[in-house]
Amino acid sequence: MGRLSVNLCGVELDNPVIPASGTFGYGYEFAELYDINVLGTFSCKGTTLRPRFGNDTPRIAEAPAGMINAVGLQNPGVDRVIAEELPRLKSVFRKPMMANVSGFSVEEYAAVCQKLDREPQVGWLEVNISCPNVHGGGMSFGTDPAQAAAVTRAVKAVTAKPVIMKLSPNVTDIVAVAKACEEAGADGISLINTLMAMRIDLKTRRSVLANTTGGLSGPAVFPVALRMVWQVARAVSVPVIGLGGVSSAEDVIEMMLAGATAVEIGAANLVHPYICRDIIAALPEVMDRYGINNLRDIIGGANP
């Protein structure tokens, strides 16, 4: 057990650093750049029941200290993920991976998870409940504790793997959503997904995004993410994965002090492709600087 290791829902991670869903593909683009086995694990592109092209383009915009995306869950669908992506990944990644799952109805979530449950490469299911709920008026599953619980229960019923519910920050009371997921059986909580945002192009007088709005991520959201991790980690007893704007070893430690057992890194991968590797390499020295022997000792270690 190294200085960096943490235990995420019963599975030991060599370190808490996890590339976030949607910013690391299915892993092998980055495997061309560095040995991705240095990672704790990684969360794959959000996978849905059917293949999706996603939203129209443009679906990326620049923001102060961040970016907005409206990719809209482009993915080949769970069957091709299992048939093509996972086998391809096997040759470059020998650790359990985190399967990120999305859906537009409770049944869809369950169907995708049931299929992924059979895959030995999948270590955790990360269930993204910020997608719009087509049967529930378009608001996301993640904005209503009762619906969040319903998704959690449906997924838990079809899988023996640890289920991590990934929450949307676009809510009044993040603790209520987290607790509802925990009570419904979630094995962990990850947060935050993106903050709903928009930019208008002054020349065209239209949204920069074809989808009108999109999700803000990157350093800009870090203080909001940290606050939510802090609130949720104190309210639930399952592990919390912290993410949102993390881009340095110091940020990883700050998230862990706030209560995160592991830390995901999203947008930063897009701009600095080696950042996860570099953060893992930098952690021991930064830990020394702040008198930290083992990362697992500091989880939730901050005082108000």
Partner 1 sequence: MKQCLFTVLENTPLTEAVMRLRLQGDTSAVIRPGQFVNIKLEGRFLRRPISVCDVEGDVLTLIYKVVGGGTEQLRTMTPGMRLDLLTGLGNGYDLSPAGDHPLVIGGGVGVPPMYWLTKELLASGRKVTAVLGFNTANEVFYDDMFRALGAEVILTTADGSRGVKGFVTDAMAGLGYSYFYACGPEPMLKAVWRTARGSGQLSFEKRMGCGFGACMGCSCRTITGSKRICREGPVLTKEEIRWDD
Ligand X SMILES: Cc1cc2nc3c(=O)[nH]c(=O)nc-3n(C[C@H](O)[C@H](O)[C@H](O)COP(=O)(O)O)c2cc1C
For residue 166, the partner it binds in partner 1, ligand X, a second copy, none, with Cβ less than 5 to 8 A by kind, is ligand X
List the one residue from 38, 198, 270, 282 that touches a second copy (CB under 8 A).
198
Binding site for partner 1 (CB under 8 A): 22-25, 29-30, 32-33, 45, 53-54, 57-67, 69, 71, 74, 208, 218-219, 267, 269-274
User: Shortest approach of a second copy to residue 115 CB, angstroms?
Assistant: 31
CB 12 within 8 A of CB 257: no
CB 186 within 8 A of CB 162: no
Residue among 11, 12, 42 at smallest CA distance from 276? 42
Using CB under 8 A as the binding rule, whether residue 243 contacts a second copy is answered as no
**Which one from 9, 44, 113, 131 is the annotated catalytic residue?**
131
Task: Mark whether 131 is an active-site residue.
Answer: yes
DSSP string, 43-98: BPSPB-SS-B--SPSP-EEEETTEEEE-----B--HHHIIIIIHHHHHTT--S-EE
For residue 53, the partner it binds in ligand X, partner 1, a second copy, none, with Cβ less than 5 to 8 A by kind, is partner 1
Please report, in angstroms and rounded to a whole number, the separation of the first and last CA atoms in the chain: 30
Q: Which amino acid, residue 106?
A: V
What is the rounded distance in angstroms from the CA atom of residue 288 to the CA atom of residue 273?
26
List the one residue from 70, 257, 265, 279 that touches a second copy (CB under 8 A).
257
DSSP string, 132-158: B-GGGTTSBGGG-HHHHHHHHHHHHTT
140-179 footprint of a second copy as x/- string (CB under 8 A): ---x--------------------------xxxx------
List the one residue from 258, 267, 268, 295 that touches a second copy (CB under 8 A).
258
Active site residues: 131
